[in-house]
Amino acid sequence: MKTTFLKNCAIVFSLCGLLFYGIIYACGGDWGWDYDGNSSFTPETFVDKSYSPLFFSNYQYFYGIGFDTEHVTRFNDEVLSDWNGFLKGVCSPKLVRYFLLESSSKDVIVLRNYYATNKKNTSVVQWEKKLKLNDPKVKSFIQFMYYAQILESVSKSDSYDWTYENKTVFENREWLKAIEKKYETATDAFMKNRYWFQTIKGYYYFQSLHLAANFFEKTQASTPKNTLYYRGLSYIAGLEYQTKNYAKANYLFSQVFDKCPPLRVVAASCFHPQEQADWEQALKLAKTNDEKVALWAIEGYFGDEKLALEKIYALNPKSEHLHYLLTRLINIQEQKLVFDFAKKSISEIKSENKTAIDELTYEWVVKIAQDEKTSKTYLWHLAAGYLQTLKGNFEIAKISYAKAEQQMPSTPLAKSQLRLLRFMNQWYALEGINATNEIALLPDLQWLYLDCAKKTPENFRFYSASMLSKMYLSALYAKQGNLVMAELFNSKSGFYINPAQLNAMKLFLSKSNKTAFEQLATSIYGYNLNDINAYQAVEATFQNQIPQAIAFMEQSNYAKEKLYGNPFKGGIQDCHDCDHAEPQKTKYSLLQLLVIIKEKQNNLAVNKEIFSNAVLLGNAFYNITYFGNARHFYEGKINGYGLETYSRTDCSIAKMYYQKALAAAKTDEQKAQCYYLLAKCERNEYYTNKYKNNEYYWYWGNDEDKINFLAWNGFKELKNNYSNTKFYQEVLQECGYFKTYVEEGK
Amino acid sequence: MKKILPLIFFSLLLSSCQPKERPVLAFYYWKTFFSLSDKEKQTLQTNHIATIYTRYFDVDLHPSNGLAYPVSPIYFGQSLKQFQIIPVVYIKNKVFQSGITNTTDLALKTFDFINQINHKNQISITEIQIDCDWTVATKGKYLDFLDKLKHISKKKLSATIRLHQIKYFKKTKIPNVDYGVLMYYNMGEIASNTKNSIYDSEIAERYLTSLESYPLRLNVALPIFSWAIHIRNGKVIGLRNKIDWHDFETDQHFVILKNNWLEVVSSNYKKGIFYRKGDKLKPESVSEDDLLKMAEELAENQKETPKRIIIYDLDEFNFNHYENNIFEKLRNCF
């Protein structure tokens, strides 16, 4: 029997949740919510899985699951197991599953009719072969299914479909009478229990609180307090809520929350105080301490978790509910931490975080941990230790962690969580860093940066601590003037622009006798000597210092990288993809390009074939800029890739060579070509300056002035003096801007 | 020829002296149960309002199977024979982001669902409006959906247009509908700063000049709603609609701050929301002066006078903040 549960209630509530989130997204804007934020406290460590959807989440309605969508399937496994137990030996599990969960209603009706009339048809005969039809348990099962499936047609109806009619009201009064009778006359305890639940469920979908509550009152004392009982209780609570008896409804939901773990997320969905008065009234309905605890336990999810914790602790320090609320408390406090290493000093960060953690919360958690009255003292010691670390009480934190270690179950997750927080207590305490510190930190750094990157227990939160420790250690090194170590732990863009820093890093990386700590720092660093030498090669190239460029490139494995197109080609249109796709006998490597540039420069120096060498050199220096087909020349880990590298826009070296070529040009065709190539450089300069600061251009293409091009000098020359050349015709064909320019002049 | 000239001149003079037609008023109705209070009925009558743009349902993606489905359809508590009802369907942009969404299927289902609602409530319609904050990424599917819907329904079709879709219409494209409705509100970000997210003249200014060149005929929608932004630890945690500010001001759990915000002095539940000690509530609304200013801005910048002004939204609660003749004043701005 499939089950839907509190469909109306849960759906309304989850829709409210959906609509709420809808408003956020519809209106756009940055709500400042991060996933996980700076969390290093894994709630799953010591808290039962049934609380998991109620862990603190910044951006999901329910942690880990988003919205609860298990309404139809939540109890499938349990139901199967119950019925398999009852029908053991008389009905195979496969058939039990078929009748309960698959489309079996036609067969159920056929068999039920057989039981009612004793008439066999071909279907019945078929079934006789598979099933002991006359076994009393099988008969009970089938008859039960018959009733259950009638109700299911309403309870299981999909309210997510495109039907306007409200189908979830059940109006079959005969059915209700019959089912209650079935309950009363059942002799077998199992069947009686099943019929009891169907009766309540029926009254729920019939939407009568009066009938449901009456029946419940009459029968609850003799009903076993199992899952079915709490599912039934939830239906009653739902009806109370729909009748606007909020206090009663919330009180009942808290009972469900307390006693039925699979229904915790449902109870939390439906629990909903409307006004302070009905919340206080609900509290008055609680007769025992346990009932009061249950109310605070569920309310703590919505309201003030610290207040709920205090109330529960005062009523029953051994309550299991304390633990999930504690994780919420800690995760919520973590949200207030700020680690702005870019703008603040270490001492500022530590002092602000210390203030950010609420002082009363801190004192209370520490006290409860010390009292050791809860049922998971190790969780409280862990939480206290973490807060003590954040408050700067490092020695005391060590004691808390030691106690946690002594008392806790040694699961992989627990061990990892403890190690992480203990380690944080170590590095967060440092005001400076020396060789002794480094040796002490090393094992945990290796674990955090290397081991955790490969494999960790499920749900273990370590990423934030990993990042923060790197930034913290980097800041310590920077404070002490050790820029190389600072850079290794937290790479900053622009580090290599400073030659002293670059050389210092090269020296360090080339060291053969690095300490174990230095080796670790090197292994977590994003760049290596190949990257740096290639970077230097590119820098030298853009200063036209080719011998130096070659020397650097030879020391880098980037030297073998192949360019996609011919870097010496200078076309009318800059079509990189076209150039890359053109067939080439051999593709140039980065080093080869530099070597050939050197050759051509040597030729120029002795005035050998000035024009062609100058043009080719111009093309080469053009193509290695952002505008050319050999961007790959300067791409690399330090320079970046693609859009990150738009800064390589300077075509002045190319321009210089094109001007040399122009000076040496003999024919009109040659001169025309040079003027055009110079025009390209002029154009690139114009675009670079124009769009340098226009942040919206890349997305909206919003050209306020609507100017696509100017009358470049080259254009003017071509038009005025070289209109009789073949080249002029080619440009007219291929360059739309030139064509426009020429035609507008007419 | 000479005799005709003065005639032509005279008729030209006449036509240029004719008063511009003022726009007609209408309302948006955005609740899930349609039932008009006496005050609401009166306001409609006094202002001769015959048309109500009624939200019929939203469309969102199912949380587990990712298929589009109708959310919170409206139910009607009274007859509406005296009004022209124009159904509005609000479709979340993510519906069009989904690869599973088929525009023909969605158009058919949407129109069918509208018909189911009409049939049950004996409403007949000649027009449909779609409300969707589409983006450059979803424009293909969304515009296609509108085409299909128009074709299937054979009704007049309009679509809401937001300011960024006016300014960047070359990127976001223009829906192929009979007219658009400019939602002249919700311009800013919902944030814990001092700005008003509903109307901000600085933000508006950035978009107004684009109105002139927008190729689709536009009617305008103006806001009379208010809400409070719920802030905790400097971060926005929710929007609270239809806050009875006086009720909160006189509630002992809250205190009025200098900037007219409210601060929670003791934690409490109110109208189903938990207000934690230290939380703040930032009220946002549009004053009468601002509302008139908005109307004037639009009148100055649109090339054509809109035929309709649609007020968001029809709720007695909203009327309390304005003079009775505000709607007439709005008409006169154009």
Each residue of A447-459: b (16+ CB within 10 Å) or e? Answer: ebbeebeeebbee
Collapse the DSSP code of B305 into the 3-class scheme (helix H, G, I; strand E, B; otherwise coil) and give the result.
coil
The percentage of residues in chain A with a pLDDT greater than 90, rounded to a whole number, is 80
Tell me how close the Cα of B214 comes to any Cα of chain A, in angstroms: 15
Q: What is the pLDDT of residues B64-91, one digit of tens each?
A: 788 999 999 999 988 888 899 999 999 9
Query: In three state form, how does the secondary structure of A281-344 look?
Result: HHHHHCCCHHHHHHHHHHHHHHCCHHHHHHHHHHHCCCCCHHHHHHHHHHHHHHCCCCCCCCCC
Mutation to test the A interface, candidates B269, B273, B282, most A Cβ within 10 Å: B269
CB contact under 8 A, A702 and B168: yes
Distance from CA of B321 to the nearest CA of A (A): 23
Query: Whole-angstrom Cα distance, residue B72 to residue B95?
Result: 16
- Mean pLDDT confidence for B151-156: 96
How many CB pairs (< 8 A) connect A and B? Answer: 95
Domain boundaries of chain B, sorted by first residue:
20-226+285-332, 235-275
Q: How far apart are CA A143 and CA A153, in angstroms?
A: 16
When pLDDT is averaged across residues A316-325 and rounded to a whole number, the result is 97
Nearest by CB to A29, from B94, B189, B276: name it: B189
Rounded-to-integer distance, Cα A472 and Cα A345, Å: 10
What token pair was written down for B113? 């669902």
Contacts of residues A351-356 at CB distance under 8 Å and 24 or more positions apart, as own/partner, are A353/A390, A354/A390, A354/A391, A354/A392
In-domain check, residue A90: no
Chain B hits for A336, CB-CB cut-off 8 Å, are 233
The confidence score (pLDDT) of residue A269 equals 93
Across the interface, whether the CB atoms of B92 and A26 are under 8 A apart is answered: yes
Instruction: Name chain B contacts of A33, Cβ cutoff 8 Å.
Output: 235
Q: Residue A214: is its pLDDT beyond 90? A: yes
Does B283 contact chain A (CB < 8 Å)?
no
- Inform me whether the pLDDT recorded for A494 exceeds 90: no
Using the beta-carbon criterion (under 8 Å), do B269 and A14 form an inter-chain contact? Answer: no
Chain B nearest-CA distance from A704, in A, is: 12
B151 lies within 8 A of chain A by CB: no
Give the pLDDT score at A59.
Answer: 82
CB-CB neighbours of A713 under 10 Å: 12
* Angstrom distance (rounded) from CA B231 to CA B66: 32
In this predicted structure, the answer to whether residue A701 has a pLDDT above a threshold of 80 is no
**Neighboring chain A residues of B171 at a CB cutoff of 8 Å:** 700-701
User: Inter-chain contact B63–A14, Cβ cutoff 8 Å?
Assistant: yes
pLDDT given for residue B14 in this prediction? 52
pLDDT average, residue stretch A728-744:
91
A414 pLDDT tier (thresholds 50, 70, 90): very high
Query: Does residue A581 sit within a domain?
Result: yes
The 10s digit of each residue's pLDDT in A422-439 is 999 999 999 999 999 999
Which residues of A fall within a CB distance of 8 Å from B112?
A: 162
Residue A34 has pLDDT above 80, yes or no: no
- In chain B, the residue whose alpha carbon lies closest to the alpha carbon of A303 is B274
The CA distance from A650 to A692, in Å, is 13
Which of B274, B275, B282, B312 should we substitute to test contact with A (largest number of A Cβ atoms within 10 Å)?
B274
Position A152 pLDDT exceeds 70:
yes
Q: For A233-245, what is the mean pLDDT?
A: 97
Give A15's contacts in chain B (Cβ within 8 Å): 71-72
By Cβ distance, the residue of A24, A161, A274 closest to B269 is A274
Q: What pLDDT is stored for residue A24 in this prediction?
A: 34
Q: How far away is chain A from the Cα of B290, in angstroms, using its nearest Cα?
A: 21
Average confidence (pLDDT) over A714-718: 91
Write out the residue range of the structural domain in which residue A616 sits.
532-744
- pLDDT tier, A643 (very low <50, low <70, confident <90, very high otherwise): low
Determine the pLDDT at residue A550: 97
Cβ within 8 Å of A, B 15-54: none
What are the structure tokens assigned to A524, written together? 């977590």
Arithmetic mean of pLDDT over chain A: 90
- Cross-chain residue pair A302–B274, CB shorter than 8 Å: yes
Q: Within A480-589, where are the H helices?
A: 483-489, 499-510, 516-524, 529-541, 546-554, 576-581
pLDDT band at A539 (very low <50, low <70, confident <90, very high): very high
Min Cα distance B70 → chain A (Å) is: 6
B267/A304 CB distance under 8 A: yes
Residues in chain A whose Cβ is within 8 Å of chain B: 14-15, 18-20, 22-33, 66-67, 69, 160-165, 272-276, 278-279, 302-304, 307, 335-336, 700-702
CB contact under 8 A, B71 and A18: yes
Question: What's the confidence (pLDDT) of residue A646?
Answer: 57
Q: Residue B12 — very low, low, confident or very high, per pLDDT cuts 50/70/90?
A: low
Interface with chain B: mutation pick from A72, A164, A334, A703, highest number of B CBs within 10 Å: A164
Own/partner contacts of B35-40, CB < 8 Å, gap of 24 or more, are B35/B76, B35/B77, B35/B78, B36/B78, B36/B314, B37/B316, B39/B316, B39/B319, B40/B314, B40/B315, B40/B316, B40/B319
pLDDT tens digit string along B258-303? 999 999 999 999 999 999 999 999 999 999 999 999 999 999 998 8
* Average pLDDT of chain B, as a whole number: 91
Phi and psi dihedrals of A634, rounded to 5? -100, -5
pLDDT classification of B177: cutoffs 50, 70, 90: very high
Dihedral sign of CA atoms B107, B113, B117, B118 in order: positive
CA-based R_g, chain A, Å = 38
pLDDT at A564: 93
Asked whether residue A294 carries a pLDDT value surpassing 80, the answer given is: yes
**Among the partner residues B62, B235, B269, nearest to A276 by beta-carbon distance:** B269
Q: Look at B197 and A29 and tell me if their CB atoms are within 8 Å.
A: yes
Q: Are A559 and A590 in contact, with CB atoms under 8 Å apart?
A: yes
What share of chain A in percent tops pLDDT 70?
92
> So what's the pLDDT on residue A66?
87
- Kindly state whether B64 is in contact with chain A, defined as any CB-CB distance less than 8 angstroms: yes
Q: Considering just the CA atoms, what is the radius of gyration of chain B in Å? A: 22
Distance CA A312, CA A307 (A): 9
Helix, strand, coil shares, percent, chain B, to 5: 35, 25, 40
A392: in domain: no
B27 phi/psi in degrees, rounded to 5 = -125, 155
User: What torsion do the CA atoms of B104, B107, B112, B118 make, to the nearest 10 degrees?
Assistant: -160
Rounded to 10 degrees, the C-alpha dihedral B209/B215/B220/B225 comes to -70
Contact B269 A273 (CB under 8 A): yes
- Identity of the residue in B63, B190, B233 whose CB atom sits nearest the CB atom of A67: B63
pLDDT of the residue at A694: 61
Q: Could you read off the pLDDT of B305-326 as tens digits, one per residue?
A: 999 999 999 999 999 889 889 9
ipTM score for this prediction: 0.84
Q: Kindly determine whether residue B270 and residue A700, on different chains, have CB atoms separated by under 8 Å.
A: no
- Would you say residue A30 has pLDDT above 90? no
pLDDT at A32 over 50: no
Residue A36 predicted with pLDDT over 70: no
Work out the pLDDT band at B11, boundaries 50, 70, 90: low
Q: Looking at beta carbons, which residues of chain B come within 8 Å of A19?
A: 58, 71-72
Token pair 């879709």 is at which residue?
B165
CATH for the B20-226+285-332 domain, from 3.20.20.80, 1.10.10.10, 3.40.50.2000, 3.40.50.300 = 3.20.20.80
Confidence of residue A704 (pLDDT cuts 50, 70, 90): low
Tell me how far apart the terminal alpha carbons of chain A are, to the nearest angstrom.
Answer: 85
Locate the chain A residue with the closest alpha carbon to B108: A162
**Cβ-defined contact of A273 to B274 (cutoff 8 Å):** yes
Task: Determine the residue of chain A that is closest to B172 in CA distance.
Answer: A700
Whether residues B276 and A274 touch (CB distance < 8 A) is answered with no
Nearest-CB residue to A26 (from B112, B133, B235): B133
* Cα(B87)–Cα(B80) distance, integer angstroms: 13
User: How sure is the predictor about A586, in pLDDT bands with cuts at 50, 70 and 90?
Assistant: confident
- Number of domains forming the structure of chain A: 1
CB-CB contact of B334 with B306 (8 Å)? yes
Least confident interval from A388-392, A550-554, A575-579: A575-579
Instruction: Report pLDDT digits (tens) over B226-266.
Output: 999 999 988 899 999 988 899 999 999 999 999 999 999 99
Do B116 and A164 make contact, defined as CB atoms within 8 angstroms?
A: yes
Q: Is residue A332 part of a domain?
A: no
CA angle, A594 as apex, A592 and A600 as ends, to 5°? Answer: 105
Contact A125, A131 (CB under 8 A): no
Looking at residue A621, its pLDDT comes to 97
Q: Which residue has the tokens 């009318």?
A: A572
Q: Is B265 on the interface with A (CB under 8 A)?
A: no
Contact B63 A18 (CB under 8 A): yes
Using the Cβ of B268 and the Cβ atoms of chain A, whether some distance falls under 8 Å is answered with: yes
Query: Do B93 and B135 touch, CB atoms closer than 8 A?
Result: yes
State the Cα–Cα distance between residues A299 and A305, nearest whole angstrom: 8
Q: Which residues of A touch B92 (CB under 8 A)?
A: 22, 25-26
Tell me how close the Cα of B181 comes to any Cα of chain A, in angstroms: 17
The pLDDT score that the predictor gives to residue A709 is: 85
pLDDT tops 60 at residue B16? no
Cβ–Cβ contact B73 with A under 8 A: yes
